[in-house]
A and B are shown apart, each in its own frame.
Chain A
Amino acid sequence: MTALLELRNCSKVYKSGFFSPKVTVALDDFSLTIDEANPTITAVVGESGSGKSTLGSLLMGFIGPSSGQVFYRGKDMTTLSGAERWQFRQDVQAIFQDPFAAYNPFYTVDHVLTVPIRKFGLARNKEEAREKMGEALRKVGLRPEEILGRYPHQLSGGQRQRIIVARAMLLKPKIIVADEPVSMVDASLRATILESIYTLHKELGVSVLYITHDLTTAYHVSNQIVVLYKGSVMEGGEVSNVVKQPQHPYTRLLIDSIPWPDVSLQWGKEPVIKDDGSSPTTTTGCKFASRCPHVMPKCREVAPTFFEVNSQQASACYLSESSPALAKSDLQRVLNKA
């Protein structure tokens, strides 16, 4: 069966400077498959600069890969016909980080809902359009009579973000790429937004790519997780395995840095080693070597392959060397078991 959306060995390289370009590898030989038959929520976590937003942009077709291919329903993205591209635009929807910048302040919030209805011809007349809008808003827990006809500045950040979720839902997409959907929303409102995304997944069978730096929300929402650092996958697998028994030092650092709402827990037991720049994104060794507390000489020479820690978890670190090695292309198999 052909996958709905597939990244095959995708890399994205940014160059800056004309005569001696400084090369930054934002995404390094990354593969991911999203099936239509088997909808999942995949969390992609990593700190700023780990390439997670580049990954999101690739999936949404905003940018093309420097090498490798992106396939949509088995066809290379660059060869899609107009009609197929239109279909792609409907199937893949986005939820962005900033609920303040997603709106044009001169239009009422109805605008973000009426435009897709008009463009994709989802309704025959105004009544039907209005009905559809109301239905979508109710699905995300908003009351249409409180929302429609208002301007963005009259609504709270949480409401605005939920309208964006409603818009994504309106088009009955197959995939939603949610790039840090809750990082700019109050902690107390995050739950409700994640809940509406989760409901979308459950009820409509939508696959979600949840891009975040917050492992706790990733743990609650997703089935499988991919931990990125400087464009490379450090660890991946079933989410509770990875979060509860992290094998890679980078995943451990991420988890250790979460400020837990528990006074008895000590924040940051493991020291954060600053990046001294000795492992640029173009290194052949492990990219995390310069910040790793367990670094070994071989880490700086050859990057470790994946080791299958258990059937649902793989870590790219020599610390897990005792486990069976796994080809890079087999990571998807481990993810699929989640």
Chain B
Amino acid sequence: MSAGSTGRSGVASGTKPVLSVEDLCVDYYTDAGRVRACDHVTFNLYPGQRLGLVGESGSGKSTIALALMRMIKPPGRISGGRVMVGDDNLTTMSDDEIRSARMRLIGMVPQAAMSALNPVIRIRAQIQDVLQVHEPNLTYSQVQARIIEVLEAVELRQEVANLYPHELSGGMKQRVCIAIAVALRPKVIIADEPTSALDVIVQRQVMETIGRLQREMNIAVVLIGHDMGLMAQFVDHLAVMYAGKLAEIGPTPTLFAKPNHPYTHMLISSLPTLGQKGVFRGIPGITPSLLALPTGCYFRTRCPYVMDVCSSQAPTQVAFDGGHVASCHLSSIPGGLTGRVEAERDAEAKLDPANAEKGAGEAGPNRTGGFS
């Protein structure tokens, strides 16, 4: 069974989004000034869809996850926009309302499963807690039946309920967290780097479980992470974040085949493949501090295709076919990013025909060269 392609579903036009994020802004008020960690982010998620949210550390992807659950704590604040789950507006709910909406409408699989579970309470009690708070009318035996049901849904034996978190492996702990997230059958689950601490095989198993639950319960999934490989194999839509802004969003196959933002292009090519040995293409530099953002386009300090206009003007969002949107000035010049990448490859090939293939990989004045 594949975790990937089988779950990808086309969405009929006219369907109402299950999660709709409109112009969401999140600010952190620090001593050094106001920091906008999430800057006018807009996207829709339809029932049963899988959306990937990628970006490096500090790009604001986890802030979005917290904002969707309305769990941003001071000094942070949602300063604009709204989050709709179906017909419920999460941003205007009172504290009591949001408390009942969390887990019921929108569930979350946290990043560090080890620290998400209470180490001194048995798994049974941790699942029971969620059920009792949200569905106080359940009888004891109904609650117990539900616990077994959710554990089985995540492929854990029912005896696991009687264990403590330290008795479980990393993958099992992550499964318990998934069980808690889906216990109330929410419409949306946010999975914040659910497999970052797991090895490849366990990662695959956990993602297969999330994929199966997503299909069976028709839950929409927001997968947050920085691994483009995982995204290629799991999600059907991809949003790329950079410095709090959406750099590009669109269907995964389109984004991989023809990215329209240099950052997406570099994220994809930074991953090692089994091609040319010893060629690593990192993205040079680090994400800019949100306190001292460059003028114009935030990515220009690391962009190999930077132009004059990039420093004076922030790019606007340009829509392409099939719901593909990118914010880059290259979109307005003929040939766009693809043209630039190809021209560069040709130039490299001319310079050194013998190494043409290798050179294409190392293209770009700012790239760290390959080593071999």
Near A by CB (< 8 A), chain B positions 211-245 give 226-234
Is B292 interfacial (CB 8 A cutoff)? Answer: no
Report yes or no: B233 in contact with A259, Cβ–Cβ below 8 A.
Answer: yes
Q: A192-B368, A220-B278, A261-B271 are in contact. Are A156 and B286 (CB under 8 A)?
A: yes
Report yes or no: B277 in contact with A48, Cβ–Cβ below 8 A.
Answer: no
Is A76 interfacial (CB 8 A cutoff)? Answer: no
Chain B residues positioned under 8 Å from A258 (CB to CB): 200, 229
Q: A267-B3, A271-B1 are in contact. Are A188 and B270 (CB under 8 A)?
A: yes
Report yes or no: B271 in contact with A187, Cβ–Cβ below 8 A.
Answer: yes
Chain B residues positioned under 8 Å from A257 (CB to CB): 200-201, 203-204
Near B by CB (< 8 A), chain A positions 155-186 give 156-159, 184, 186
Give chain A nearest CB distance to B264 CB in angstroms. Answer: 11
Interface centre among A194, A202, A243, A269 (most CB of B within 10 A): A194
Is B205 interfacial (CB 8 A cutoff)? Answer: yes
Chain B residues positioned under 8 Å from A244 (CB to CB): 274
Interface residues of B toward A: which range? 35 or more
CA distance A164 to B155 in the complex (A): 40
Report yes or no: A272 in contact with B204, Cβ–Cβ below 8 A.
Answer: yes
Report yes or no: B227 in contact with A187, Cβ–Cβ below 8 A.
Answer: yes
Which of A48, A190, A261 makes the CB contact (< 8 A) with B232?
A261
Give chain B nearest CB distance to A315 CB in angstroms. Answer: 19
Chain B residues positioned under 8 Å from A259 (CB to CB): 203-204, 207, 227, 229-230, 232-234
Chain A residues positioned under 8 Å from B132 (CB to CB): none
Report yes or no: A186 in contact with B202, Cβ–Cβ below 8 A.
Answer: no
CA distance A263 to B257 in the complex (A): 9
Report yes or no: A263 in contact with B273, Cβ–Cβ below 8 A.
Answer: no
Chain B residues positioned under 8 Å from A214 (CB to CB): 200
Report yes or no: A263 in contact with B256, Cβ–Cβ below 8 A.
Answer: yes
Give chain A nearest CB distance to B92 CB in angstroms. Answer: 35
Chain A residues positioned under 8 Å from B5 (CB to CB): 266
Is A128 interfacial (CB 8 A cutoff)? Answer: no
Near A by CB (< 8 A), chain B positions 95-144 give none
CA distance A47 to B58 in the complex (A): 29
CA distance A53 to B278 in the complex (A): 24
Report yes or no: B202 in contact with A47, Cβ–Cβ below 8 A.
Answer: yes
Report yes or no: B1 in contact with A268, Cβ–Cβ below 8 A.
Answer: yes
Chain A residues positioned under 8 Å from B227 (CB to CB): 187, 259
Give chain B nearest CB distance to A186 CB in angstroms. Answer: 5
Is A88 interfacial (CB 8 A cutoff)? Answer: no
Report yes or no: A262 in contact with B272, Cβ–Cβ below 8 A.
Answer: no
Report yes or no: B204 in contact with A48, Cβ–Cβ below 8 A.
Answer: no
Chain A residues positioned under 8 Å from B256 (CB to CB): 261-263
Cβ-closest 7 pairs across A and B: A191-B282, A191-B280, A267-B233, A259-B229, A213-B199, A259-B233, A192-B282
10 residue pairs of the A-B complex, CB under 8 angstroms, read A156-B286, A184-B196, A187-B229, A191-B270, A192-B284, A215-B200, A217-B272, A266-B4, A268-B3, A271-B1
9 other A-B residue contacts (CB within 8 Å) besides A189-B282, A263-B257, A271-B1: A159-B286, A189-B56, A190-B280, A190-B282, A192-B368, A254-B200, A261-B229, A268-B204, A269-B2
